[in-house]
Amino acid sequence: MDYYCSKCNEDIEKKVYDYSKKEFGEVLCRNCQKNSEPKKEVGLNSQESKYREGMIKGRIAETLIEELFLSLGYDVFRYGMENTVPGIMKLLKDVKGDVATNIRRMPDFVVKKNDEVFFVEVKFRASETLTKKDLPKDYPFMNAYFILVSKKHIKCITYQELMDGKEITSTTQNYLGKRKEFDLEKETVIDFCNFAVKFFESV
What average pLDDT score do residues 132-154 get?
90
Angle at 170 between CA 173 and CA 123, to 5 degrees: 90
Pair 20, 4: CB distance under 8 Å = no
Q: Which CATH class is domain 55-200?
A: alpha beta
pTM exceeding the 0.85 threshold for the entire prediction? no
Confidence class of residue 168 from pLDDT cuts 50, 70 and 90? very high
pLDDT at 103: 64
The string over 94-105, giving b where at least 16 C-beta atoms fall within 10 Å of a residue's C-beta and e elsewhere, is eeeeeebbebbb
pLDDT > 70: what percent of the chain? Answer: 83
8-55: pLDDT as tens digits: 889 999 999 989 888 888 899 989 998 887 766 666 677 777 877 888
57-98: pLDDT as tens digits: 888 999 999 999 999 999 999 886 565 555 555 555 555 666
Q: What is the C-alpha separation between 16 and 13, in angstroms, rounded?
A: 5
Q: Where are the domains of the chain?
A: 3-34, 55-200
188-197: pLDDT as tens digits: 999 999 998 8
Average pLDDT, the chain: 85
Q: State yes or no: pLDDT of 203 exceeds 70.
A: no
